[in-house]
Amino acid sequence: MKTGIDLIFIPSIAKLMENEAALRKMLHPSEMRIMKAEHLAGKIALKEAFFKAFEMKPRWLDLEVKETSSGKPKLIVYTVLIDKIEKMDYSISHDGDYAVAQVVVLMKK
């Protein structure tokens, strides 16, 4: 089992939003449909938590965070790691100036 967690200061994402080129290197167009700092912070935190779980350098566009009708995020993995994952669960939360995300991965044997 692998786990990763990330905490993001939302005002730093508000500052990052001034650089659209940088955002495009981190986020898919679908992830930028809602251009609110807290929304983007949650998506970035979820991706970072995934990278931490796998102890890897960020390859931002290898992951895409989509929304389900229930509001729970859906993490799409576009990398060979998907073949090693048995089951994965994750969550994003916001409070005040912070967004946090956690990923828990059960690996195939």
What's the mean pLDDT in 94-108? Answer: 97
- What's the CA gap between 72 and 46, in Å, rounded? 12
Predicted pLDDT at 79: 87
For the chain, list the domains and their CATH numbers: 2-107 (3.90.470.20)
C-alpha–C-alpha distance, residues 41 and 51, integer Å: 15
Query: Which residues contact residue 71 at a Cβ distance below 8 angstroms, ignoring those fewer than 6 apart?
Result: none
Query: 20-67: per-residue pLDDT in tens?
Result: 999 999 999 999 999 999 999 999 999 999 999 999 999 999 999 998
- The answer to whether the pTM exceeds 0.85 is yes
Average pLDDT, whole number, for the chain?
A: 96
Give the chain's end-to-end CA distance (angstroms, integer): 10
Quick one: pLDDT at residue 96? Answer: 97
